[in-house]
């Protein structure tokens, strides 16, 4: 029996687990570019999962770790001109975050984890929200905690706030790179509204404005924060068979 156990342990140690990574984004995301730019010798199997992360995207209890990076501040819809802008955006953020957590709780195995980072603010001012015409809400860390606790599917293992990565060094702002990032994130949303034929001109204007206002950008955007959280899926009260040994990840990816 002991001999059998030690052979089993040695065999297990030798077997590298297989990782299955599901990359998620909205259906109009350019998944081809994602697959073309993945490292050729990656030690995992990759698949693309199109659709909103506010809905269930993977089969029940098929996921071990869900990782969402820099995406949960995107709301599921653009709000109208509500009188109480701050309240309306926060209410939508609560509903969307709750839908995200419920969907992940369905997909995760018991004890599985959710790791996310979200663009946040330390204090939310109405002026800051009013200046956004996009479906975005930048929560405080207390608001993130409150929504996770209300959802009841997860325990919070760790939560903290870090400053914007570009604050870590004193390198000057790279305008061209910043504009390329902003275009990659916003182009899909903006071309629906303004028309794809206007995109080059619009982002050219954006770059010129950023050149003129680089000091403002440095003071506002580069002072922003990220909230990081690690959540553990609570017991589901039922036995769910795991069909394979691989560890699945759910990652949002922008082209």
Ligand X SMILES: C[S@@+](CC[C@H](N)C(=O)[O-])C[C@H]1O[C@@H](n2cnc3c(N)ncnc32)[C@H](O)[C@@H]1O
Give me the least distance between CB of 171 and ligand X, in Å please: 19
107 binds ligand X (CB under 6 A): no
Stretch of 36-44, 48-56, 87-95, 211-219 contacting ligand X, by CB under 6 A = 48-56
* Closest by Cα among 248, 224, 214, 231 to 70: 224
71 binds ligand X (CB under 6 A): yes
Q: How many residues bind ligand X (CB under 6 A)?
A: 15
54 binds ligand X (CB under 6 A): yes
Q: How many residues in the chain?
A: 255
Residue 179 and residue 125: Cα distance in Å, rounded?
A: 25
User: Which residue number, 184 or 240, has a Cβ lying nearer to ligand X?
Assistant: 184
User: Which residue number, 52 or 56, has a Cβ lying nearer to ligand X?
Assistant: 52
166 binds ligand X (CB under 6 A): no
Give 162's strand partners: 226
Residue 73 and residue 117: Cα distance in Å, rounded?
A: 10
48 binds ligand X (CB under 6 A): no
* Closest by Cα among 150, 131, 124 to 227: 124
29 binds ligand X (CB under 6 A): yes
Strand ranges for the chain from DSSP E: 19-25, 45-50, 63-69, 108-120, 154-163, 225-233, 247-252
- Contact residue for ligand X among 74, 89, 154, 226 (CB under 6 A): 74
Give me the least distance between CB of 96 and ligand X, in Å please: 8
Residue 75 and residue 6: Cα distance in Å, rounded?
A: 52
Could you tell me if 141 and 156 are in contact, meaning their C-beta atoms sit under 8 angstroms apart?
no
Give me the least distance between CB of 198 and ligand X, in Å please: 20
53 binds ligand X (CB under 6 A): yes
Give 245's strand partners: none
User: Which residue number, 136 or 202, has a Cβ lying nearer to ligand X?
Assistant: 136
User: Which residue number, 29 or 151, has a Cβ lying nearer to ligand X?
Assistant: 29
Which value, to the nearest 10 degrees, does the dihedral of the CA atoms of residues 33, 207, 205, 73 take?
Answer: 60
Interface positions with ligand X (CB under 6 A):
24-26, 29, 52-54, 69-71, 74, 185, 252-254
């Amino acid at each position: 029996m002991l001999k059998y156990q030690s052979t089993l342990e040695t065999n297990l140690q030798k077997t590298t687990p297989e990782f299955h990574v599901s990359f998620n984004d909205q259906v109009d995301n350019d998944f081809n570019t994602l697959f073309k730019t993945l490292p050729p010798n990656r030690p995992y199997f990759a698949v693309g999962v199109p659709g909103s992360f506010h809905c269930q995207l993977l089969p029940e209890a098929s996921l071990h770790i869900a990782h969402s990076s820099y995406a949960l501040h995107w709301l599921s819809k653009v709000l109208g001109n509500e009188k109480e802008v701050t309240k309306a955006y926060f209410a939508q953020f609560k509903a969307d975050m709750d839908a995200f957590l419920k969907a992940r709780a369905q997909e995760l195995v018991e004890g599985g984890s959710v790791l996310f980072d979200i663009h946040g603010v330390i204090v939310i001012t109405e002026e800051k929200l009013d200046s956004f015409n996009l479906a975005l809400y930048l929560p405080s860390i207390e608001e993130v905690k409150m929504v996770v606790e209300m959802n009841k599917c997860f325990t919070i293992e760790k939560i903290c706030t870090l400053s914007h990565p570009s604050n870590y060094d004193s390198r000057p702002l790279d305008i061209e790179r910043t504009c390329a990032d902003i275009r990659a994130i916003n182009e899909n949303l903006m071309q629906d509204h303004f028309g794809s034929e206007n995109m080059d001109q619009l982002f050219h204007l954006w770059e010129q404005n950023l050149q003129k206002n680089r000091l403002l950008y440095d003071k506002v955007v580069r002072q922003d924060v990220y909230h990081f959280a690690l959540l553990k899926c609570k017991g589901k009260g039922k036995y769910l068979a795991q069909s394979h040994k691989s560890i699945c990840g759910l990652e949002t990816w922008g082209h």
